[in-house]
Each structure stands twice: as structure tokens, then as C-alpha cells.
């Protein structure tokens, strides 16, 4: 059995980001030598996350700007009535990052910095309940041999086997097509964040999402917030309708596709799985429940964990989103799920009445209470207040990350 200071289970966005920040930041006292870090990736197959696109907003000069596929400082939202609202994101930029570029570049850099990488299926993590002896990671290597690895700290980014109880669970589910058109069809300087001209479900919402990478190329997605997912043909039918009938694009080629399901739930994420074992990433509450955005929360959380480790402190991952943001998310999710609030008009009004940079900071949980109050006045006050008052009396139920029946 070999040993290491830090074991990171999973080499997706959270695992690679933590390894990146551990090697990027310089250790401080009381540490005299750099931490030894081992990153365990799942073998190719269903346990390894598929290639995907991450989007987030931040100022220019971010740590991954050299890896971006595209970035925009103009965002557009189409309301159900067809009217478009376009705004500038300055001083922020909306950024698009492909997981393939991120994994390749960050993986190369952390390997050069001394991170040990293993490919294995992790079966269990045995924690010393007192925390003095760290934890043991047990698994099977790619060649079939057993893995036993002792670490002072273990960070697990895998989805939990049992989702925490929740009062409301909606699913953000989507399919995206990377398309190439015969003639110029997109404005490369403007991304369509939400296009509500799509047919709306009875509860929840649906929208189109267009990220142009050139006049003739874009990622076009169909997204729903609802209780149930669609069939493969259902997504394809919705995408064809959106491209053909709503965007009016005549002639396009689908060059690649991606699909995903993100639970949107008002759970109480438990980041501590043992005295020396912690959850990070989506498993550690990095996903914003009301939007599904995760990458920015992952960066805040893993950067803070790396700083704690370098300072020689207990590296409990901090919440990626504050209690006020999580409380507002819980109200919105239940208001959407009960049908008290129609999603398309709700988001359309916000984008039409709130300055775009302020709204983006709000969606990232970075606004002051006074700003939150002002934005709240631009929502359907009576149904939102009704929902807020009833929420403390709604029980949390085990859902395994799926909407309750």
C-alpha cells in the first residue's frame, strides 16, 4: 500500500481543477515541502464523464482564457412574444470552454508539476473516524490489479450513490447540436442565452440556446426545466423545429452532439463524508440549483480548498453558493414546480428590467442584499411570497436526484 498527501477521485472538472490549483498556488507555512497529489481517473466507459461544454461568466484575463472556444460580451434573450432583449455583459464576459481542451491542457500541466495519475475504478474509501490516520482508497486498476492507497486527505468528485433529501427536484435536460450552415446564419459577437419562442411545457420552461463560434458555426441546444426527460427522438424533433421554424435556417450539417441531465434541487449538500474525506464539485454542491451552472462554483470551491491545504488547515470545501442564494433558489424551484410562476415570462422580465451585469452577478450569487431585494420586486411578488411562506413546512424527501412522483 502506497501513500500520498492528497488523493483526488475523478478527473472531471472538479478533480482537475483541484489538482490545477494545488500545483498553481505556492505552499505557505507551516508546510515546508509541496504536497504529494494523486489523481485517480475512471477507465474509459460509463464511469468517465462524457465530453461536454462548460459556460460561465467572469472578467477578461481568467486562468483558462487561452483554452476558450469562444467568448461574448453581448447576450440576447427572446421572450415568448418574440421580442429580443440584448445587453452587454461588461465588465464580464460569457465564456465557452470545451472539456476536451480543458482536460488536455490542465492534465499536461499538472503531470509536469508532479501530480501522480492513476486509472482505476474506486470501490470504497475507508476513513479513520478520528481523522488522525487519514483514509484508504480501495479500487481496481486498469490492469485488474487491486489498488490500496493511503492519503491524509481524500476529495471525491463522483456523484453520490444516494442523493440528499430535497423538497423540490426539477431536471435541467438538454441536447445540443454543433451545426455548420451553408450560408452565414449567426452573429459571432452575440450569444443567445435563452430563446423562449419554443413551445412551453405546462410546468417548468423550455428554451433554445445558441453559442455562435463563427458566421456559419454554432452550438445550438434545446433545454427544458421539467420533471421528466425526453426521448432521443423528442430532443431531435425539438432541435429541428427550433432550427427550421424558429431560427429559419435553411440547410445545415450536424457535426457533433452533446446531451446531459442536471438535477436542480434544494438539497442540503454534505461536503464532509468523513474526518478526512470530502466531496467536491457537483457532489459538493457546486451546481447553482436555479440555473444548473457549475463550472464557476467548482473554481471557487477548489481554489479555496487548495488554499486551505497549503496553509496547513483542515480543507473543508466551502459552499460554492451562499445561504441567501440557496434560499432564493429553493423558492424559485418550488414556484416553478407548482406552476405558480411561469418560467418563460419570469426570466424574460428579469432580463428586460435588470441591467445585464447586475443580473449575471445575481445568478452567480455575487449581489448585495439590497440588490437582491430590488431584483425580487421585478418578480411575481405574490406567488413568490406565498411560496416562501409555505416552504418551511414542506418536508424534504429522499428522491435519489429525481423528481418525486
Mean pLDDT of 290-307: 95
**Predicted pLDDT at 405:** 41
pLDDT at 380: 95
Pull the grid cell for residue 326. 440557496
Question: Which pLDDT belongs to residue 161?
Answer: 84
Read off the pLDDT band of 28 (50, 70, 90).
Answer: low
User: Strand (E) positions, 79-203?
Assistant: 84-88, 93-98, 116-127, 135-141, 146-156, 169-181, 191-195
Residue-wise pLDDT tens digits, 40-57: 999 998 888 889 999 999
pTM of the entire structure?
0.93
Q: How confident is the model at residue 174 (pLDDT cuts 50, 70, 90)?
A: very high
* Mean of pLDDT values over 275-289: 94
CA distance 198 to 222: 9
Burial of residue 362 (CB within 10 Å: 0-12, 13-18, 19+) is: buried
Sheet holding 252-265, edge to edge: 84-88, 74-78, 191-195, 205-214, 217-226, 169-181, 252-265
Alpha helices of 272-380 — where are they, by DSSP H?
295-310, 323-338, 343-353, 356-363, 369-376
Give the model confidence (pLDDT) of 56-90 as tens digits.
999 999 999 999 999 999 999 999 999 999 999 99
| Average predicted confidence (pLDDT) for the chain | 93
Beta strand 53-58 with 93-98 is antiparallel
**Residue 153: C-alpha distances to residues 107, 137, 273, 282, 285 (Å):** 21, 10, 11, 19, 19
Summarised one tens digit per residue, pLDDT across range 93-105 is 999 999 999 999 9
pLDDT of residue 1: 53
Most confident of 214-218, 224-228, 399-403: 214-218
Nearest to 101 by CA among 65, 131, 137: 65
In angstroms, the CA 149 to CA 137 distance is 5
Count of helices and strands (H, E) across the chain? 9, 16
Q: H/E element holding 13?
A: helix 13-24
Amino acid at each position: 500500500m502506497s501513500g500520498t498527501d492528497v488523493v483526488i477521485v475523478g478527473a472531471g472538472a472538479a478533480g482537475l481543477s483541484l489538482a490545477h490549483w494545488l500545483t498553481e498556488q505556492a505552499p505557505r507555512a507551516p508546510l515546508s515541502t509541496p504536497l504529494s497529489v494523486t489523481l485517480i481517473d475512471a477507465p474509459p466507459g460509463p464511469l468517465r464523464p462524457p465530453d461536454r461544454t462548460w459556460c460561465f461568466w467572469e472578467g477578461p484575463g481568467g486562468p483558462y482564457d487561452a483554452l476558450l472556444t469562444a467568448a461574448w460580451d453581448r447576450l440576447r434573450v427572446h421572450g415568448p412574444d418574440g421580442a429580443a432583449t440584448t445587453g452587454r455583459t461588461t465588465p464580464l464576459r460569457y465564456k465557452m470552454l470545451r472539456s476536451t481542451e480543458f482536460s488536455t491542457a490542465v492534465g499536461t500541466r499538472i503531470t509536469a508539476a508532479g501530480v501522480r495519475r492513476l486509472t482505476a475504478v474506486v470501490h470504497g474509501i475507508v476513513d479513520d473516524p478520528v481523522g488522525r490516520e487519514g483514509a484508504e482508497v480501495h479500487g481496481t486498476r486498469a490492469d485488474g490489479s487491486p489498488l490500496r492507497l493511503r492519503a491524509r486527505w481524500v476529495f471525491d468528485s463522483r456523484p453520490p450513490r444516494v442523493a440528499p433529501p430535497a423538497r423540490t427536484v426539477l431536471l435541467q435536460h438538454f441536447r445540443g447540436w454543433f451545426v455548420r450552415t451553408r450560408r452565414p446564419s449567426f452573429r459571432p459577437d452575440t450569444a443567445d442565452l435563452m430563446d423562449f419562442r419554443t413551445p412551453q411545457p405546462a410546468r417548468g420552461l423550455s428554451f433554445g440556446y445558441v453559442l455562435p463560434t463563427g458566421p456559419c458555426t454554432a452550438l445550438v441546444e434545446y433545454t427544458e426545466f421539467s420533471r421528466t426527460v425526453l426521448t432521443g427522438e423528442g430532443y431531435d424533433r425539438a432541435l429541428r423545429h427550433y432550427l427550421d421554424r424558429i431560427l429559419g435556417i435553411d440547410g445545415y450539417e450536424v457535426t457533433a452532439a452533446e446531451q446531459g441531465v442536471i438535477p436542480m434541487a434544494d438539497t442540503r449538500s454534505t461536503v464532509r463524508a468523513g474526518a478526512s474525506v470530502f466531496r467536491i464539485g457537483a457532489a459538493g454542491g457546486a451546481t447553482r440549483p436555479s440555473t444548473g451552472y457549475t463550472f464557476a462554483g467548482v473554481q471557487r470551491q477548489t481554489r479555496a480548498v487548495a488554499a486551505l491545504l497549503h496553509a496547513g488547515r483542515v480543507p473543508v470545501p466551502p459552499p460554492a453558493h451562499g445561504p441567501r442564494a440557496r434560499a432564493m433558489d429553493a423558492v424559485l424551484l418550488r414556484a416553478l414546480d407548482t406552476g405558480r410562476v411561469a418560467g418563460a415570462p419570469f426570466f424574460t422580465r428579469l432580463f428586460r428590467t435588470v441591467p445585464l451585469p447586475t443580473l449575471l452577478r445575481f445568478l452567480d450569487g455575487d449581489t448585495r442584499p439590497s440588490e437582491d431585494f430590488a431584483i425580487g420586486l421585478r418578480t411575481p411578488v405574490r406567488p413568490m411570497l406565498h411560496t416562501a411562506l409555505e416552504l418551511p413546512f414542506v418536508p424534504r424527501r429522499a428522491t435519489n436526484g429525481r423528481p418525486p412522483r
